[in-house]
Amino acid sequence: MKAEIIAVGTELLLGQIVNSNAQFLSTELAALGIDVYFQTVVGDNSNRLQQAIEIARSRADLILFTGGIGPTEDDLTKDALAAALGRGLHIDTLAMDHVQRFFDARKIVMTENNRKQALIIEGTTPLPNEIGLAVGVALAHEDKYYIVLPGPPREMKPMFTDKAKPWLLQHALTDEMPIYSKMLKFAGIGESLLEDKLIDLIRNQTDPTIAPYAKEGEVTVRISTKAPSEHDALKKLDVLEKQIKDILPEHMYANIDVPLEQLIVDWMADAGLTLSAAESCTGGLLMESITNIPGSASMFAGGIVCYSNDIKKKLLNVPSDFLEGTNAPGAVSREVAEVLAEQVRMIADSDFGLSVTGVAGPGYSERKPVGLVFIGIAERNRKTEVFELNLQGTRENIRLRSVKALLYRLWRRLEERQVETPLEGSDL
DSSP letter assigned to residue 422: P
Question: Which CB sits closer to its own copies, 124 or 282?
Answer: 282
Whole-number Cα distances in Å, 104 to 160, 222, 358, 377: 27, 50, 65, 65
Closer to its own copies by CB, 294 or 422: give it.
Answer: 294
Provide the 8-state DSSP code for 380: T
Quote the least distance from Cβ 284 to its own copies, whole Å: 3
Q: Least separation, in Å, of the C-beta of 301 and its own copies?
A: 5
Is beta strand 136-141 parallel, antiparallel or unpaired with respect to 144-149? antiparallel
Report the distance separating Cα 405 and Cα 392, nearest Å: 13
Give the angle 245-181-240 at the CA atoms, nearest 5°: 30
**Nearest-angstrom CA–CA distance, 257 and 265:** 15
Nearer to its own copies, 50 or 418 (CB): 50
Q: Give 124 or 212: the residue with its C-beta nearer to its own copies.
A: 212
- Rg of the chain on CA atoms, in Å: 28
One-letter amino acid of 129? N
Q: Cβ closer to its own copies: 12 or 268?
A: 12
Closest CB to its own copies among 87 and 395? Answer: 395
* Residue 428 to residue 408: CA distance in whole angstroms: 15
Beta carbon of residue 110, minimum distance to its own copies (angstroms, whole number): 9
Residue 41, H or E segment: strand 35-42
Question: Minimum CB separation from its own copies for residue 195, in Å?
Answer: 5
What DSSP character marks residue 177?
P
Least distance from its own copies to the Cβ atom of residue 357, Å: 12
Which C-beta is closer to its own copies: that of 47 or that of 174?
47
Torsion angle of alpha carbons 399, 369, 251, 273, nearest 10°?
-60
Q: How far is the CB of 94 from its own copies (least distance, A)?
A: 17
Give the shortest CB-398-to-its own copies separation in angstroms.
11
Q: Pairing mode, if any, of strands 252-254 and 275-279?
A: unpaired
Q: Which residue, 278 or 377, has its beta carbon nearer to its own copies?
A: 278
Nearer to its own copies, 188 or 303 (CB): 303
Helices 395-420 + 260-271 axis angle, to 10:
40
Contact 28, 169 (CB under 8 A): no
- Residue 422 CB, shortest distance to its own copies, in Å, is 27
What are the distances in angstroms from CA 27 to CA 92, 148, 160, 181, 335?
Answer: 30, 17, 12, 11, 48
Q: Which of 427, 379, 373, 362 is nearest to 404 (CA)?
A: 373
